[in-house]
């Protein structure tokens, strides 16, 4: 330990010598030997010097031996000259390990924003300036690599430092947030390459652990779309809170099978896991699942999400998104689910495309059912794009860069909200714990990001130069796309929660109106009238939004169950009457 000892370890040594002095004084008093005060001062000084000298000599010998080994290994090989950003505890540990491990990397200089330590040395490495000097120092000292070692930095500070570092020609690496590290003792192995999410400047999510634990622990939890990007991450996070049973429901067997294997490897017998294959369009299948397992909590993440494809097949979007949500939510109400959480999207705000319109209808469905169901609280969580999700722009850009093809951006000024999949899932889970019924939770997405900037950052992270090594091609907006997304309407009011990244929109609407209009929508879908479907969806959204703004008519009412089968018949049933499942239906 002594080659890496810091101030705290030496303070322990000093404390030990003081205790030794105190015991010596007591011993001399018992032996009735009285010495002058100067004797004890000299005795303590010599004792402390001896204790420290032994350790400093060992540290000096160990360091010299390591340096000789490093030089021997580096003989004939080009060393990598490294700049460390951050002279705090983490940066100091990185410097010490770079100097004492058998690595080609040589620490050359340090930068830190604290002016009081400028031109001092940190373990023999000079601190030459602050972040604004990075570009100049990198050129002057022929730096090959920059390591940003500030795991406690805010997201804004980190983003600013990374932006400066990318003005150099150096490879940039990062010591991640403390929340990503296994302990506060950092190691060279913790240093990693920059990821695109680091450039977004997203702070780690802070859980209200007690509240989420009460929400999930010993509950039966059902996730529809359990094999998808958000569904699978929800499953991983929920599994850690020890549910009585975790049910993954998905139509895609391959993705949910992969997730099953991952969860079994991670949690083993500690997790009671059930994987069920089925479609949210199939009312009978869902009724069988709810009747057998009686979930306490439902996260509804299953949906068609690809905007251009849903423009081509609007009927499928309505069947899967609107009817599937309608179907799943009704089963939750009938079978006594305590909380139902819909995963929604910012495209539901002022929708200009079929996918967004269907997701807005989903929000209205669950808000309406919340008023009709005495036992189940229904809520929705609305947020923007997530990095790395299936069908998102990031994997497409990465594939184009790998293949050295032009990176295709729709428009240079297009902006989107982004967050990481773990962050979005954490906040969905947290919002579900806050839910009391009837809320639309809106996640704080931070500032919107230009897709053009995102594409250029990805090219730079690949070690290439935008417009030189990889061209950027502007292909125009696709059908249904907006220049900018919104998270709420301008006349909607925001209510803060206890969590800084979760807000609430409270809305009301007339159940009878929704019942009549959704019946018409589903009948149009069943008839395959896609031209009429587009027009009617515009009309339906307008009517329902006006109803929300006007307030509740207080008429009460019931929503219909619409079995989506070969006959497309409308069948009215009470929410309190369990759906009848034919014999042999699973």
Residues 382 and 364: their CA atoms lie apart, in Å, by 13
Residues 399 and 547: their CA atoms lie apart, in Å, by 45
Domain residue limits at 364: 217-386+418-447+488-549
Residues 336 and 430 in one domain: yes
In the residue annotation, 490 being an active-site residue is answered as no
Residues 325 and 187 in one domain: no
Residues 6+ apart with CB under 8 A from 312: none
List Cα–Cα distances, 518 to 50, 305, 545, in angstroms: 86, 20, 14
**Encoding tokens for residue 59?**
């540290």
Residues 60 and 96 in one domain: no
- Residue 567's pLDDT is 32
- Residue 63's pLDDT is 65
Q: Is residue 403 part of a domain?
A: no
Residues 514 and 557: their CA atoms lie apart, in Å, by 10
Q: Minimal CA–CA distance to 394: which of 444, 462, 475, 346?
A: 462
Residues 452 and 523: their CA atoms lie apart, in Å, by 42
pLDDT for 91-135, tens place per residue?
998 998 888 776 788 899 999 999 988 988 888 899 999 999 999
pLDDT for 538-566, tens place per residue?
666 565 555 544 444 333 444 443 333 33
Q: Is residue 21 part of a domain?
A: yes
Calculate mean pLDDT across residues 242-269.
95
Residues 148 and 271 in one domain: no
Q: Is residue 508 part of a domain?
A: yes
Q: Is residue 464 part of a domain?
A: no
Residues 66 and 141 in one domain: no
- Residue 239's pLDDT is 96
Residue 511 reports pLDDT greater than 80: no
Residues 564 and 327: their CA atoms lie apart, in Å, by 9
- Residue 244's pLDDT is 97
Residues 247 and 174 in one domain: no
Residues 232 and 124 in one domain: no
Burial of 341 (0-12, 13-18, 19+ CB in 10 A): buried
Options 219, 347, 482, 501, the catalytic residue: 347
CATH, residue 166 = 3.40.50.720
pLDDT for 467-492, tens place per residue?
888 999 999 988 778 888 877 766 66
pLDDT for 341-356, tens place per residue?
999 998 888 787 889 8
pLDDT for 168-188, tens place per residue?
889 899 988 755 555 567 888
b/e sequence 403-437, b meaning 16+ C-beta within 10 Å: eeeebbbbeeebbbbbbbbbbbbbbbbbbbbbbeb
Residues 311 and 250 in one domain: yes
pLDDT for 37-82, tens place per residue?
787 788 888 888 887 787 777 767 766 666 666 566 555 567 889 9
**Encoding tokens for residue 220?**
């039966």
- Residue 340's pLDDT is 98
Average pLDDT, the chain: 81
Site of tokens 């090989």: 77
Give residue 3's pLDDT band: very low, low, confident or very high (50, 70, 90): very low
**Encoding tokens for residue 221?**
């939890």
Residues 526 and 460: their CA atoms lie apart, in Å, by 49
Instruction: Pick 213 or 497 by higher pLDDT.
Output: 213
Total of domains in the chain: 3
pLDDT for 306-339, tens place per residue?
888 888 888 888 889 988 999 999 999 999 999 9
Calculate mean pLDDT across residues 371-380.
91
551 CB neighbour count, 10 Å cutoff: 10
């Amino acid at each position: 330990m002594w080659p890496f000892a810091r101030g705290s370890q030496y303070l322990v040594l000093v404390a030990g010598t003081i205790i030794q002095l105190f015991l010596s004084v007591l011993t001399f008093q018992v032996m009735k030997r009285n010495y002058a005060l100067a004797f004890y001062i000299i005795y303590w000084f010599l004792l402390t010097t001896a204790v420290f000298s032994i350790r400093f000599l060992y540290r000096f010998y160990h360091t010299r031996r390591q340096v000789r080994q490093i030089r021997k290994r580096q003989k004939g090989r080009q060393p990598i000259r490294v700049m460390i950003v951050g002279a705090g505890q983490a940066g100091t540990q990185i410097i010490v390990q770079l100097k004492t491990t058998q690595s080609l990397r040589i620490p050359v200089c340090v930068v830190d924003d604290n002016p009081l330590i400028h031109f001092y040395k940190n373990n023999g490495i000079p601190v030459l300036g602050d972040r604004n000097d990075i570009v100049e120092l990198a050129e002057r000292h022929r730096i090959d690599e920059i390591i940003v070692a500030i795991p406690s930095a805010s997201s804004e500070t980190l983003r600013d430092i990374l932006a400066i570092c990318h003005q150099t020609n150096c490879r940039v690496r990062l010591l991640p947030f403390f929340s990503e590290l296994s302990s506060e003792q950092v190691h060279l192995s913790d240093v990693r390459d920059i990821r695109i999410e680091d450039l977004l400047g997203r702070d780690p999510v802070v859980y209200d652990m007690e509240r989420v634990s009460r929400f999930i622990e010993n509950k039966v939890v059902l996730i529809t779309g359990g094999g998808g990007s958000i569904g699978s991450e929800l499953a991983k996070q929920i599994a850690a809170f020890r549910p009585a049973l975790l049910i993954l429901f998905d139509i895609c067997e391959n993705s949910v099978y992969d997730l099953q294997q991952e969860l079994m490897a991670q949690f083993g017998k500690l997790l009671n896991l059930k994987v069920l294959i089925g479609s949210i369009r199939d009312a009978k299948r869902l009724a069988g699942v709810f009747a057998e397992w009686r979930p306490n909590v439902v996260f509804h993440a299953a949906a068609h999400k690809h905007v251009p494809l849903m423009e081509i097949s609007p009927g499928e979007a309505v069947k899967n998104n609107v009817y599937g949500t309608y179907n799943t939510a009704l089963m939750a109400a009938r079978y006594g689910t305590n909380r139902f959480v819909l995963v929604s999207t910012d495209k539901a705000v002022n929708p200009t495309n079929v996918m967004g319109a269907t997701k807005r209808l989903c929000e209205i469905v669950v808000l309406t059912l919340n008023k009709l169901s005495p036992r189940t609280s229904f809520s929705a969580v609305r947020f923007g794009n997530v990095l790395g999700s299936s069908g998102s722009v990031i994997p497409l850009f990465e594939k184009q860069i790998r293949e050295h093809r032009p990176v295709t951006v729709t428009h240079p000024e297009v902006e989107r909200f982004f967050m990481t999949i773990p962050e979005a899932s954490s906040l969905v889970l947290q919002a579900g714990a806050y839910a009391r019924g009837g809320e639309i939770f809106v996640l704080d997405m931070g500032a919107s990001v230009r897709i053009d900037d995102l594409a250029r950052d990805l090219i730079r992270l690949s070690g290439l130069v935008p417009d030189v090594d990889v061209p950027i091609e502007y292909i125009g907006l696709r059908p249904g796309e907006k220049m900018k997304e919104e998270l709420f309407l301008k006349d909607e009011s925001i209510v803060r929660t206890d969590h800084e990244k979760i807000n609430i929109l409270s809305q009301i609407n007339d159940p009878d109106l929704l019942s009549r209009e959704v019946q018409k929508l589903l009948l149009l879908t069943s008839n395959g009238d896609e031209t009429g479907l587009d027009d009617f969806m515009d009309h339906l959204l307008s009517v329902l939004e006006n109803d929300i703004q006007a307030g509740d008519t207080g008429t009460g009412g019931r929503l219909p169950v619409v079995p989506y089968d070969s006959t497309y018949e409308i069948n009215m049933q009470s929410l309190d009457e369990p759906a009848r499942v034919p014999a042999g239906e699973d």
